[in-house]
Amino acid sequence: MKSHHLHCKIKRTPEEAARLRADRERYQREKPTPQQLLAEGGHTEFVKLGELLLLHEAVAWLKQERERQKLTLAEMSRRTGIDQAALSRLETGKNSNPTLDTLYRVAAALGKTICCTFQDADKTLPSPARA
């Protein structure tokens, strides 16, 4: 699968931009570990970059398949029962944490299924506490 990059400019207030810039500079200077960041608070868990990239790749593939089948977002909305705007946010990356149910419904509407595998977890990071 050939992927392409989408760039959507995020609109931030000057205060948000300054806070993010300060955080980035601090992280570069101090290089805190994930455990230190969790201990500081403000974060309850981490999503590993590899997991995030895999999710983005899956969503990009679903969009590519929708376009290959020449289906509109309106048709996908009808087939999935998911609001057209929500589908658009999913495809543009504005929904960075879709549920598995959402991904399954989109895949099913395209005549596809999602297959998952399990492997040993990375032991270097603490397991997130889940209810």
Read off the pTM.
0.61
pLDDT in tens, the chain (131 residues): 555 555 567 788 999 899 889 988 988 998 888 778 888 876 677 777 788 888 889 999 999 999 999 999 999 999 999 999 999 999 988 887 888 899 999 999 999 999 888 888 776 655 555 44
Whether residue 105 sits in one domain with residue 54: yes
In a domain, 1, yes or no: no
Residues 6+ apart with CB under 8 A from 57: 1, 3
User: Which of these, 114, 115, 111, 56, lies nearest to 79 by C-alpha position?
Assistant: 111
Whether residue 20 sits in one domain with residue 71: no
Q: Which residue type is seen at 18?
A: A
Q: Which pLDDT value is given to residue 127?
A: 56
Q: Which pLDDT value is given to residue 131?
A: 43
Tokens matching residue 105: 């419904």
In a domain, 94, yes or no: yes
Is residue 102 within 8 A of residue 90, CB to CB? The reply is: yes
Number of domains into which the chain is organized: 2
